[in-house]
Amino acid sequence: MLDRSQLTLISGNRLIVEQLAEHINIIGHADAEQCKTAFRNSEIQGYQYSFPEGFLPFIPEKLDREFFNISKLVTNGYADDKVDYIPMLVMCKDIIAQGRVNFALENKVLHKREFSSIHTVSVRVDKTDISSFIDTFFDIKENNLQGNTLLLEDVTQIKLDEMVTVTGGV
């Protein structure tokens, strides 16, 4: 049976994907008319990835490439009709950086929890308000996405929190 769904990426772009058994096919973009971003679609070790060009300079050093692993996201239940947030871990260089990140994320995420011993903030980002999260870490200058001081100096990496499931919690 062919299952079609929509998937919102951390970039804010929404993809339309089809799943037939284990195969995932990227059909297009739900917001194609307003989408000015080019994408680089790749197959890596049997998984389908869709990387927005503007985010490529930050993958994998600052952004976990699993945010763009379409096969895994769909298979693990992150389609928009199943979950309305993206769970992630913001890993910081030290406790002071973690405090700055925690403060910057105030009122910009659905849920936030600090893990001071590992300098990490666990968050759930609302798929309908990803722009608030993006604006916390990125600036757009001359139509180019650039990491801001918080991302470049305080964050070691932002990872998909794969411990959160559609039916589970943080």
Q: What is the DSSP string of the chain?
A: -EEEEEEE-TTS-EEEEEEETTEEEEEEETTTTT----EEEEEETTEEEEEEGGGGGGTTTTB-GGGGBHHHHHHTT-STTT-SEEEEEEEESSHHHHHHHHHHTTTTSSEEEEEGGGTEEEEEEEGGGHHHHHHHHEEEETTEEEE-HIIIIIEEEEEE-TT--SS---
| Average pLDDT of span 117-134 | 94
pLDDT tens digits, one per residue of 16-49: 888 777 777 777 767 655 556 788 889 999 899 9
pLDDT 10s digits, 76-121: 889 999 999 999 999 999 999 999 999 999 999 999 999 999 999 9
Share of the chain above pLDDT 90, in %: 61
